[in-house]
Copies of this chain bind each other. A is one copy, B any other.
Amino acid sequence: MPEHFSKQFDQELEHVRGRVLEMGGLVEEQIKDALNGLANADLPLLDKVVSLDHKVNMLEVQLDEECQHIIARRQPTAGDMRMVFTVIKTITDLERIGDEAEKIARMSRNIYQSGRVQVPRFTEIKHAAELALRMLRKSLDAFARLDAGLAAQVVREDMQVDEEYRAIIRQLITFMMEDPRTISTSIDIITIAKAIERIGDHAKNMSEYVVFMVKGKDIRHLSLADAERAALDNDN
């Protein structure tokens, strides 16, 4: 392949990587806005989250198209192919994180529009959301810096978010039993907690793809110990 071809290819890959990070940044904002909207009963902010979801969707469609063009026009090397493959998988997860942010915003709107003024277990929800957001942030950084070690941290952190989720559900069950009038709001909060738990899952998926991109090893469905070993292995 002539050098200028290969250079143009590198530029195309660089462009796609930049767009993935842009999509990631947008999705992060969506989660933050949804949670701030929930914290402050800020209905216009919640509306904004719902109305901006189409932007995330559009980026997904455009990036999938770019990836197909790259594969069709160039014959990617194994390493480049792993990168394109990682992008194709990653943007599916990013789009679904966007959907979860929208769901949080819709449920929060629900809560305040029914005239309720208090959100039970808000502190715990906020804490779980911070963990999930940190996982997303780290996954995007790991993707940007090709850092398999950072990605491995995210895989481990997912257990924490799952534990927080289970704790919130247990607390809400007690809360509902003590005061059945809170059942309806509590169900909305469970949906919000579930959305946060899923954001953690998607961030974990993204980090698993980063390890694959950098190390060429598929760590999905491995035990945590094996996954960490593969991610931190220096031989590869």
**Chain A: residues with CB nearer than 8 A to chain B?**
54, 57-58, 60-61, 64-65, 68, 71-72, 75-76, 78, 81-82, 85, 88-89, 92, 169, 173, 176-177, 180, 183-184, 187, 190, 194, 218, 220-221
In the bound complex, what is the Cα–Cα distance between A26 and B50 (angstroms)?
Answer: 36
Q: Evaluate contact between A78 and B85: CB separation under 8 angstroms.
A: no
Cβ contacts under 8 Å, A85 to chain B: 64, 68, 88
Q: Evaluate contact between B218 and A58: CB separation under 8 angstroms.
A: no
In the bound complex, what is the Cα–Cα distance between A89 and B88 (angstroms)?
Answer: 8
In the bound complex, what is the Cα–Cα distance between A84 and B82 (angstroms)?
Answer: 15
Cβ contacts under 8 Å, A190 to chain B: 187, 190
Q: Separation in Å of the A139 CB from the closest CB of chain B? A: 16
- Given contact pairs A72-B76, A72-B81, enumerate 8 new A-B contacts (beta carbons under 8 Å): A57-B220, A68-B85, A71-B71, A85-B88, A173-B187, A176-B176, A177-B180, A180-B180
Q: Evaluate contact between A61 and B184: CB separation under 8 angstroms.
A: no
Cβ contacts under 8 Å, A64 to chain B: 85, 218
Q: Evaluate contact between A54 and B221: CB separation under 8 angstroms.
A: yes
A–B complex contacts, Cβ < 8 Å, 19 sampled: A57-B220, A60-B220, A61-B220, A61-B221, A68-B81, A68-B82, A68-B85, A71-B81, A72-B76, A72-B78, A75-B75, A173-B183, A173-B187, A176-B180, A176-B183, A177-B180, A177-B183, A183-B183, A190-B190
Q: Separation in Å of the A189 CB from the closest CB of chain B? A: 12
Q: Separation in Å of the A184 CB from the closest CB of chain B? A: 6
Cβ contacts under 8 Å, A61 to chain B: 218, 220-221
Cβ contacts under 8 Å, A65 to chain B: 218
In the bound complex, what is the Cα–Cα distance between A76 and B60 (angstroms)?
Answer: 22
Q: Separation in Å of the A95 CB from the closest CB of chain B? A: 8
Cβ contacts under 8 Å, A78 to chain B: 72
Q: Evaluate contact between B173 and A57: CB separation under 8 angstroms.
A: no
In the bound complex, what is the Cα–Cα distance between A88 and B71 (angstroms)?
Answer: 14
Q: Nearest chain-B residue to A67 (Cβ)?
A: B85
